[in-house]
Amino acid sequence: MPGKRASEGRIGIGWDAHPLRPGRACSIGGVAIPCDEGPEGHSDGDPLLHALTDALYGAIADGDLGTHFPDSDAANGGRDSAEFVSAALRAVAARGLGVANVDAVVTAEKPRLGPHRDAIRARIAGLLGVGADRVSVKAKSLQGLPAARGSVIAQAVVLLAPSPSRGSRPSRRR
Ligand code: MG
């Protein structure tokens, strides 16, 4: 509930998949990846930031990316998906919660994400205001399995913990 202090942690999950299209800019986890194809989408098409946004909204049971930023709204066209994450994070903070950690998996045959993993972790950590040691990103190629061909698939799990309230000390229990 907005404005109330949280007394317990929450967990959320997000999933997204976008097809690759030639000539599209390739943004994954908020990082521009050099590639001749990029994920199609109404916004910048970043499947990892969409999965993360859904995980944040899911953890606080507050709808999902589509309910907050419908693709029927022209204002969301070509939009930087980092803005979706920031909006979801504000909703999380309003409930007295903060991000404890994130674990994510990106499945794509193309582009190869291994060399960009730490840049993606740092970018997501920056968006969430946490250390990079709280953000895990794993890249899977599935060795050419047809299901992974021509698309980028992302999953994210986020754990939220109560934020320490300002000016108060943790209460001692007898
Ligand atoms: Mg999406």
Widest distance between CA atoms in the chain: 63
Q: Are 34 and 110 in contact (CB under 8 A)?
A: no
Expressed in angstroms and rounded, the spacing between residue 58 Cα and the centre of ligand 1 is: 15
Expressed in angstroms and rounded, the spacing between residue 145 Cα and the centre of ligand 1 is: 22
Q: Please give the distance of CA 56 from its chain centroid, rounded to a whole number.
A: 8
Q: What is the pLDDT of residue 129?
A: 97
The pair phi, psi for residue 56, each rounded to 5°, is -65, -50
Expressed in angstroms and rounded, the spacing between residue 168 Cα and the centre of ligand 1 is: 40
pLDDT tops 90 at residue 2: no
pTM: 0.91
The angle subtended at Cα 30 by Cα 24 and Cα 36, nearest 5°, is 25
Q: What is the pLDDT of residue 130?
A: 97
In sequence order, the 6+-apart residues with CB closer than 8 A to the CB of 96 are: 4, 5, 6, 162, 163, 165
